[in-house]
A and B are shown apart, each in its own frame.
Chain A
Amino acid sequence: MSWRTIDRRTVPLDDLDPGLSAAVKEKIRSFFPRYPTRRAVLLPALHIAQDALGYISLRAMREIAELLEIPPSAVLDVVAFYTHFWTHPRGRKTIVLCRSLTCELMGGGRVREALEQRLGIGEHETTPDGQWSYMTEECLAACEHAPCLLIDEKLHKAVQVEDLDRILVDAENDRLDLPRSTLFDAPQET
């Protein structure tokens, strides 16, 4: 047993935490008519908030809770259940590496080691220059292209250790070459 007790009562100094802009809140509200309850908008709201802030700050959790009229802890509950949401700041781009069976058989483990070494970070960490964050995830449903990884939205197929250099320096490595829908994106601030 640990003798440390974590204080959950004091409000953390999160005044510096980013909150949601009026435009983001408006966008979240635009999802209300889609569902009979407000709570059901939670996942879309979190997607939009994460796109706006890069992660879900404590402040954002409280603001979303207020918008959806649910207790703030319910937002934390959901954020922590799903692996997609980060509760600390991320780099500009996030690499999601598949760690499931096919990818591992096809050399995913080596790619993982090489990647961690190249970036010098472990899972859920961010490079000091703020460029990259990295995490692993179970099967990305692209096993015919194993081993594969996602950089933000773009899937990189059959990635071998040698390919990493090329992929990481490519400016377009996170860009999809198809028309995007902005439905779950944060609104463009003017």
Chain B
Amino acid sequence: MPFERVLMRHVGVPNSTSLAVYKADDGYAGAARALKMTPDDLVEFVKKANLRGRGGAGFPAGVKWTFLPKDRTVTYLCVNADESEPPTFCNRVLIDSDPHMLLEGVLIAAYATRTTVAYIYMRGEFCAQFHILQRALDEAYAAGYFGRNILGSGYSLECYIHRGAGAYVCGEETGLIESLEGKRGWPRIKPPFPAIEGLFRKPTVVNNVETLACLPHILTRGVDWWLSIGTANSKGPKMYCISGPVNRPGCYEAPLGLSCRELIYGADFGGGMCDGKKVKAVFPGGLSMGALRGDMFPKPPDGKVDPRQDHDELDCILDFDDVRKYDLLGLGTAAAVVIPEDADLRDTLLNVTRFYSQESCGQCTQCREGTAWMQKIAERIRAGAGRPVDLDIIVEATRNMGMMPGLSICGLPDGAAWPIRTLIQKFRREFEQRIAAQAPGAAESLIRRTNAAAYELPVLHGRAVQPVGGTYATPVDVAPPP
């Protein structure tokens, strides 16, 4: 049975943002069905479908909803439309083509969680999308899908769009909550988790746009249909994004489990590289998930995966599990950007480090200082004044930040560590060659010019730092003054 697009079925359809077109295609039928169930049954239903969050973490939506305290009186639903992860744009495409699908999903999720007010937190740079969604919302209100006593069910829901103002970290769920409350978007410490104490200190659910947009389809087509799509632990359709120098950059819907190679080369997807170039690297899940080696490198002889070898890794299956075999952080947003063979990875390194250092919120020391330091080093390497030891310092820095080892409040530094570390580790040879090809003495003369103290301060000669527990095993390669 050929795969039928559901999330993107209206892309390219004229007037697809209108309620009439949406309704003609079974629109709001899922919501009508949901409103006939009890909220608890609805949660169970979604749990059965194992709908895993599309926002990055892949946490099952139904399970998340069960964390809400039973005796709550007020619940908020926050819709995460802050899509800022480069190079991700599937939420934008979804809102552009089918805003009512999102709104129906909001209604279903809100009913399941007994939400009374839902806020759609939309990034500030989404301008056209805001107008589209606001108009759809007005229509939906007028048609009785929001407001008091929806479809005669006795359930009432208010829904508002809240516009962000340019901060990646406000996509993190507690950063989003703080931002909504009118504060700087500093993520909160957890516990308490938002399900217990979230927006305005009340139980709160945060879900991604695409996660919610899946709900109407699960309700109209049933759990079995949903479970028939995808791989073992990753069910349902997914909107994959591909960008960079490919022939058909764009967003494409496919069952979870598309391979990275298919995404780049498939005729229905990326359509191959521009000018027949080869792929040097690809960030397959949004920047934060890390890099894969491209087909510029030899294929593994036995097809075995070994991230330590210089092998083509494009066979990576983009679902929630396989990515981990390739030393990636996770599926992320399933948005790939391709780096062609002729690109200079020093540019990539600088761009990636700059992104995280610009977007770190500044609370946690490791994240605030570490990302900025990595950017400074990357700038110097880019300027042709790198030192081999810089690569070690960057890798060391990526290892001492992040939430996985418990070193920070939110996941942003994990997302910074993975691409930067995989980039340097998997492509170390290129970096080393580029550094070796620099003008002799370039590093020293540049450092002397910008920070003479690095050479003049006596404390920096010899060991600047104590070698305890192997932490500072990297020697400081600063030469004594002549």
Contact = CB atoms under 8 A, between A and B. Distances in A.
Establish whether A and B are touching in the complex (CB under 8 Å).
Answer: yes
A122 interface: no
Contacts of B352: 101
Interface stretch (A4-12, A13-21, A147-155, A161-169): A147-155
Interface in A80-135: 81-85, 96, 99-102, 104-106
Nearest to B419: A101
B355 A100 contact: yes
Contacts of B319: none
Contacts, number: 163
Given A40-B180, A68-B182, A105-B339, A144 B128 contact: no
A80 to B, nearest CB: 8
B91 interface: yes
Nearest to A31: B160
A43 B85 CA distance: 21
10 contacts: A34-B160, A35-B200, A40-B180, A43-B164, A84-B124, A100-B351, A100-B355, A141-B88, A153-B127, A181-B135
A143 B182 contact: no
A176 B88 contact: no
Contact of A77 (B168, B184, B287): B184
Contacts of A142: 89, 92
A179 B128 CA distance: 9
B413 interface: no
A143 to B, nearest CB: 4
Contact of A36 (B132, B200, B340): B200
A155 B89 CA distance: 14
The residue in A37, A70, A96, A138 that gathers the most chain B C-beta atoms within 10 A of its C-beta is A138
A107 B243 CA distance: 13
Given A42-B182, A43-B182, A102-B86, A143 B241 contact: yes
A178 B337 contact: no
Nearest to B92: A141
Interface residues of B, number: 63
Contacts of B339: 105
A143 B168 contact: no
A144 B91 contact: no
A46 interface: yes
A1 to B, nearest CB: 13
Interface in B310-355: 335, 337, 339-340, 343, 347-348, 351-352, 354-355
A137 B168 CA distance: 11
Contacts of B92: 141-142
B351 A101 contact: yes
Interface of B: 83-89, 91-92, 123-128, 130-132, 134-135, 138, 158, 160-168, 179-185, 200, 241-245, 249-251, 283, 287, 335, 337, 339-340, 343, 347-348, 351-352, 354-355, 358-359, 361
Interface of A: 34-37, 39-44, 46-47, 68, 70, 74, 77-78, 81-85, 96, 99-102, 104-106, 137-146, 150, 152-155, 176, 178-181, 183-184
The residue in B337, B340, B361 that gathers the most chain A C-beta atoms within 10 A of its C-beta is B337
A84 B249 CA distance: 28
Contact of A138 (B86, B158, B244, B283): B86
Given A137-B125, A140-B125, A144-B251, A101 B163 contact: no
Contacts of B124: 47, 82, 84
A78 to B, nearest CB: 6
A167 B246 CA distance: 25
Contacts of B243: 102, 143-144, 146
A99 B166 CA distance: 14
Given A138-B84, A141-B91, 13 more contacts: A43-B162, A43-B163, A43-B180, A74-B183, A84-B165, A84-B166, A101-B87, A101-B355, A102-B244, A141-B125, A143-B87, A143-B89, A143-B244
